[in-house]
Homo-oligomer: A and B are copies of this chain.
Amino acid sequence: MLDALFRPRSIAVVGASTDPTKLGSLPIKFMLGADFKGEIYPVNPRASTIQGLPVFGSVKAIGKKVDLAIIAVPKELSRAAVADCAEAGVRAAVMFTSGFAEVDAPGASAQREITALARSAGMRVLGPNCLGVVNFAEGMVASFHPAFALTEKRAGRIGLASQSGAFGGLSYNLARERGLSFSYCVTTGNEADIDIAECVSFLANDASTEVILLYLEGCRNGPALIEALKTARRKGKFVIAIKVGRTASGAAAVASHTATLAGSDAVFDALFRQYGVYRAQTIEEFLDVGLACAVGKPPRNASLGLVTVSGGVGVLMADAATNLGLEVTPLPEATQARVREILPYAGPRNPIDVTGQVVADPKLFERGLEIALAEGGFGGLVTFTGALPRNPEHAPMLKGVFASLRERHPDVSLISAGLSTPQFRDELGALAIPSFEDPSRAVRAAAALRFFAERSGETGRAEQRAHPPLPEGPMGEVEALRALGAAGIPVVESHLAPDAKSAVDAARKIGFPVVMKIASPDILHKSDIGGVLLGLASEAEVLKGFEELLARARRAHPRARIQGCLVAPRIEGGTEIVLGTNLDPVFGPVVMVGLGGIFVEILHDISLRLAPIGIEEAHAMLRELKGFALLEGARGRLPADIEAMARALVDLSSFAHAHAHEIVSCDINPFLVLSKGAVAVDAVIVRNS
């Protein structure tokens, strides 16, 4: 779909200048330098040749098919330029020009006008206010950023999509310094037409791209981004994202409780977890993980072997690995004894500290590595070789060790840490061994590779069931519980008693003691008005309680429609959790779970996913909770029925998904989880008004 943008064969440069340093001239210079094989048509009414190419007075005047137009004219001329392109049948345009929606309301209006013009002609637009797009394999540079003055034509497997131009340029610059090669870079700027989701989709479907680096500030089209990420995962591609604005979401506090908890950055975080996207917090981590994915091999399991020339750095790496969820499993005792035979001074456990002795006899290093690989059962190895790779004598020796290791173990995950040189780094890269100078970063890269290995394959399928329509009118507790019950969620067996006598009948049926609550679709916060009575132990108490509840409700809400009282059993024991859904403006319904009390309120210990979810995802949500140990039976409790909780989450997500257009939010609080089974005790559903 975006072929004209990413793989154009003919490019018009509107606003090309005879001054080679101007925005409109740089792409031409870059493409000529990068040996672009397609056609380049400079467009400028007041020039005849630019950089040796014949110039056209307008795009229409070119008279040939034009795939892509680069629009580099001042803002005042941009509308005319777009019109010219549209009339000439150009398929896509990249607009560098700024001064539109990013500046003020008139700018936004001008941007809408231009977009409408392009749309009516079927022309796609990237930008405005963007740094453009680069196709490295073809030397196609529709960008003026100096980073893309390609001095060497080397295409790689990393695609970069960034909403920020400067961030894109910076990342590319830093990545090149580290020897990384790219398939495409695209920056989307104001996203008047083409948005980040479409670019991710293009990269996910592009055969040459294996790693997608993604910089996000937000997203206009949630479902499209979800689809693109699903595609990437299905095709086994690695997606690494930086999403900025993590803490801004905290600042933009929202009134409603659930909304605060589910602030939009938290929803992006849920999206990333759900679709196996690695979320990086810094540019350094972004590129480190990109490098690991582009170069390295996936670890077979979470156990990491560490082979080091420094004991101290070994401990440092072991700490880092443990903190990142990897296991630093010791070598078997017998293997340790063998290591000690070969390397008498070595620390043979894991980290395997081969000490500086390896300088004298590199074969020892090789044998140490070989034993670790053969007998350690490790999913992968990280080696630390200190300053040896910098030493002209030792570097070839080390390279030889790694090369022969790779020959014997073609699929094992190896990562190298230590002071290095670009040459050593590239030689190891050719052996599918990513290398890092900082040992902690090398370990983080190993953990990232494991992150992806654990998330390979399809996303767990969510159930897409039919749900009965919601009842008309406002929903009180009665209707909410009934609707949730119909969705498969276990709800408390409660009876709506229109009068005191039926309340007594219901209580007798349920068995004493009972709980009684005022029933009214107009009273959502019952406890606030004393509308809940717990532990009514006799008929007399039920009779008296019924009148009391009605009186309280009438005093507090004289105009509320009162349905009577709800009578329900008092449920003993269990763990209170909170289930909920919320409607995210970008991604639609989001499902939430947290432990009741301080876990949600003080520690904000909740887990979110986009609805609908499958049962595996529901289990993953529960395991994410800091308080999960409590559900598993810590502090002498009975283990809670985790399957029942997960099942309820799946059903709730399906319910929220089915009613996405009608339900704003849903709160089940408390959802009581017993050692066998679970039950929704109270629920509030807020409908679209």
Contacts and interface: CB of A to CB of B under 8 A. Distances in A.
Nearest to A163: B312
Nearest to A636: B601
Contacts of A245: 315, 319
Contacts of A170: 310, 313, 386-387, 419
A103 B345 CA distance: 6
Interface string A596-617: 0111011100000000000000
Among A103, A164, A315, A344, the most chain B Cβ lie within 10 Å of the Cβ of: A315
A366 to B, nearest CB: 20
A185 interface: no
Instruction: Categorize the interface residue count of chain A.
Output: 35 or more
A282 B316 contact: yes
A302 to B, nearest CB: 15
A406 interface: no
A109 interface: no
B319 A246 contact: yes
Contact of A167 (B99, B313, B356, B597): B313
Interface in A335-352: 344-345
A532 interface: no
Interface stretch (A151-159, A458-466, A626-634): A626-634
A395 B316 CA distance: 37
A352 to B, nearest CB: 14
Contact of A248 (B315, B627, B634): B315
Contacts of A248: 315, 318-319
A311 to B, nearest CB: 6
A164 B312 contact: yes
Given A167-B312, A440-B282, A387 B244 contact: no
Nearest to A215: B312
A62 to B, nearest CB: 30
Contacts of A320: 281-282
A22 to B, nearest CB: 12
B282 A441 contact: yes
Contacts of A98: 345
Nearest to A322: B247
Nearest to A244: B315
A286 B594 CA distance: 37
Contact of A315 (B103, B217, B309): B217
A484 B126 CA distance: 73
A276 interface: no
A242 B316 contact: yes
A374 interface: no
B319 A635 contact: no
A245 B328 CA distance: 13
A419 B173 contact: yes
Interface in A293-325: 309-313, 315-316, 318-320, 322-323
Interface in A261-313: 281-284, 309-313
Given A164-B310, A167-B313, A283 B173 contact: no
A221 B439 CA distance: 29
Contacts of A242: 316
Among A282, A318, A440, A597, the most chain B Cβ lie within 10 Å of the Cβ of: A282
A682 interface: no
A614 B400 CA distance: 59
Nearest to A187: B312
Interface in A143-196: 146-147, 162-167, 169-170, 173-174
A350 B419 CA distance: 38
A426 interface: no
A282 B438 contact: yes
B284 A441 contact: yes
Interface in A122-158: 146-147
B284 A440 contact: yes
A522 interface: no
A440 B316 contact: no
A198 interface: no
A344 B147 CA distance: 26
Contacts of A250: 322
A391 to B, nearest CB: 8
A216 B157 CA distance: 42
Nearest to A129: B345
A427 interface: no
A125 B470 CA distance: 83
A309 B166 contact: yes
A235 B332 CA distance: 50
Nearest to A131: B356
A313 B173 CA distance: 14
A593 B582 CA distance: 38
Given A387-B173, A601-B634, A166 B282 contact: no
A386 B164 CA distance: 13
A316 B166 contact: no
Interface in A231-263: 242, 244-248, 250
A323 B217 contact: no
A370 interface: no
A437 interface: yes
Among A242, A313, A391, the most chain B Cβ lie within 10 Å of the Cβ of: A313
A387 B312 contact: no
Contacts of A315: 217, 244-245, 248
A180 to B, nearest CB: 15
Interface of A: 98-99, 102-103, 146-147, 162-167, 169-170, 173-174, 215, 217, 242, 244-248, 250, 281-284, 309-313, 315-316, 318-320, 322-323, 344-345, 356, 386-387, 391, 419, 437-441, 597-599, 601-603, 626-627, 629-630, 634-635
Please give me the 6 A-B residue pairs with the lowest Cβ-Cβ distance, nearest first. Answer: A164-B312, A166-B310, A167-B312, A247-B322, A282-B440, A244-B315
28 contacts: A99-B345, A146-B387, A162-B312, A164-B310, A165-B310, A166-B311, A166-B313, A166-B356, A167-B310, A167-B313, A167-B316, A169-B386, A170-B310, A170-B313, A170-B386, A170-B387, A170-B419, A173-B387, A174-B419, A215-B312, A244-B316, A246-B319, A247-B323, A282-B440, A283-B438, A598-B599, A598-B627, A602-B634
Given A169-B386, A281-B319, A284-B440, 10 more contacts: A147-B387, A166-B313, A173-B419, A174-B437, A244-B319, A246-B319, A247-B322, A248-B319, A282-B438, A598-B635
